[in-house]
Amino acid sequence: MPAIDWQPWQTAAFLDAQRRRRPVLLLLDTGWSPASARAHETVFARPDVVAAIADTVVPVRVDADRRPDIADRYGLGHWPSLLVLTPEGHTLTGGSHLDDGLAARLREAARAFAARDGQWILPSATAEPAADFADDDTALDAIAAALSATRDPSTGACGQAGVPSAAAALFALAHATAMADPAWASMAADTIDALDGASPDWRADGVVALVPSVDDRLAVARLDDQAEWAGVLARAVSLEPLPEWVARLDRLVDGLRRAFRRPDGHWRPWTGTPRLVLVDSSARACRALLAAAVALDRPELAREAIDALELLAPVAYARGSGVAHVLDEGQARGPMLLDDAMMLAHALLDAAAWRDDHVYPDLAEELLRTTLARLQGASGAIEDRVASLAGAGRVGRLADPVYPLAGNAAAARLLTRLFPDDAGQQAEARRILRAVSSEAAGAGPFGAPVGLAWHALGPAGAVTAAW
């Protein structure tokens, strides 16, 4: 039976589409998404869909975990996401609901593309963000108000689509600490408690699974979710060692180590046996163990985290090339992305507290300075990637800069941690945050890291700078 000849995101695919005057069909999926697996087993296995794709488009498939820079620009909020692009990479249409009518929709999209004969209104380039808030307090208040507005009236938890946000819980803890505000302390506790409903089995096995199951498949657990919630509980226990929180943290740490640590010492990005290692997720897991070592007074967790970090950093980082996003079969691959460098730098600083060694903070500083030199714009905002001409690196939306909120917030907090007594570096951290705070104030729980970074510069900075 014929199969779809998916091509990778590369120059040759887009040149082929230009030569044949066909649209590009972009599929963004992941190795862990049950919906992605179901789409390949059902929709993309249908003979009429295979024929329609062969007749009308150039099919390109991208793993959203390997190429988050593409996923951030084209993704529709769910995996799989399917888009029809011009040969220049501009979006014509798309959706995430794949069903039996896909073949007919693809043929109709191809007819519409041919009828326009390549004459399309193209989007203008993305402008660099500008600071909209006059002072720190105004920006912080706006982000706090936006987060509070996401609170679920039935559970009291901050989040999105019924799923509590670990980032929002962390911000609420910081806000309650800085403001001595019991309402925000309650909001943090409610958000933490809501994990029971969002991942009802985690209390039994210690593994957080927030990705819903499909067709009775097992729910998928991801390293990012596990590490983020372990980190939140570690901070909560450090502030208030409630017996229930201590017990939860113990379970989360056990699940983290048991379900995600590979025999070779690296971290699995999701449950199962994927070959790849994601650098940002792995560094986040190391940070969670280091925070838990402090909160639970278990130095062996710190030793385990440092061992994993010592394994990760030398392969992921190369002087002059930056931090890779993916390790595949022991080889560094993928573009240089902001989040990987910032998360690795923070993990190195966390580890430095356990080692009397200047190498870790020196490397963290080098990562920060390299990142600012290569990715920071005139406004202070930092782009997500080092743009490249290779591998269709400037096609379509990849030519437009993206300024990720979490990555910019992490850079500002690095400046705070590395240079706590340097007024100039603190001013630079504020410049970064002011450039992205307007977007953060409209991003709900996704703006929480920026609010947390503002707290690291304020009265609670001594407590929250390392969060």
> pLDDT tens across 78-111, in order?
899 999 999 999 999 999 888 889 999 999 999 9
pLDDT value at residue 322:
87
Distance CA 443, CA 457 (A): 21
- Rounded to an integer, the average pLDDT of 380-385 is 96
Beta bridge partners of 261: 267
DSSP state of 466: T
- Rounded to an integer, the average pLDDT of 113-118 is 80
Element (H, E) at 164: strand 163-164
Beta bridge partners of 159: 164
Structure tokens at 55: 């007749």
> How many whole angstroms from its chain centre is CA 243?
31
How sure is the predictor about 214, in pLDDT bands with cuts at 50, 70 and 90?
low
Q: How many CB atoms lie within 10 A of CB 48?
A: 14
Read off the pLDDT of residues 424-453 as tens digits, 9 standing for 90 and up.
999 999 999 999 999 999 999 999 999 999
Read off the pLDDT of residues 280-323 as tens digits, 9 standing for 90 and up.
999 999 999 999 999 999 999 999 999 999 999 999 998 877 89
Distance CA 413, CA 342 (A): 9
pLDDT value at residue 393:
82
Read off the pLDDT of residues 48-82 as tens digits, 9 standing for 90 and up.
999 999 999 999 999 999 999 999 999 998 899 99
- Rounded to an integer, the average pLDDT of 213-217 is 58
Distance CA 456, CA 467 (A): 8
Are the CB atoms for 323 and 382 separated by under 8 Å?
Answer: no
How sure is the predictor about 212, in pLDDT bands with cuts at 50, 70 and 90?
low
How sure is the predictor about 272, in pLDDT bands with cuts at 50, 70 and 90?
confident
Read off the pLDDT of residues 154-192 as tens digits, 9 standing for 90 and up.
999 999 988 999 999 999 999 999 999 999 999 999 999
* pLDDT reading at 398 higher than 60: yes
Are the CB atoms for 86 and 23 separated by under 8 Å?
Answer: yes
Are the CB atoms for 333 and 379 separated by under 8 Å?
Answer: no
pTM for this entry = 0.94
Q: How many CA atoms lie within 13 A of 140 on its CB side?
A: 19
Strands 277-278 and 326-328: antiparallel
Q: What is the DSSP string of 277-343?
A: EEHHHHHHHHHHHHHHHHHHT-HHHHHHHHHHHHHHHHHHEETTTEE-SEEETTEEES--BHHHHHH
* pLDDT reading at 216 higher than 60: no
Q: Which residue, 52, 55, 58, 53, is CA-closest to 18?
A: 58
- Per the prediction, the chain carries an average pLDDT of 93
Distance CA 200, CA 428 (A): 43
**At a CB cut-off of 8 Å and minimum separation 6, what does 5 contact?**
54, 59
**At a CB cut-off of 8 Å and minimum separation 6, what does 259 contact?**
205, 206, 207, 221, 226, 268, 271
Beta bridge partners of 376: 382
Q: Which residue, 75, 61, 55, is CA-closest to 13?
A: 61
How sure is the predictor about 117, in pLDDT bands with cuts at 50, 70 and 90?
low
Are the CB atoms for 445 and 165 separated by under 8 Å?
Answer: yes
Read off the pLDDT of residues 330-363 as tens digits, 9 standing for 90 and up.
889 888 899 999 999 999 999 999 998 899 999 9
* pLDDT reading at 254 higher than 70: yes
Q: What is the DSSP string of 399-448?
A: GS----HHHHHHHHHHHHHH-TT-HHHHHHHHHHHHHHHHHHHTSGGGGH
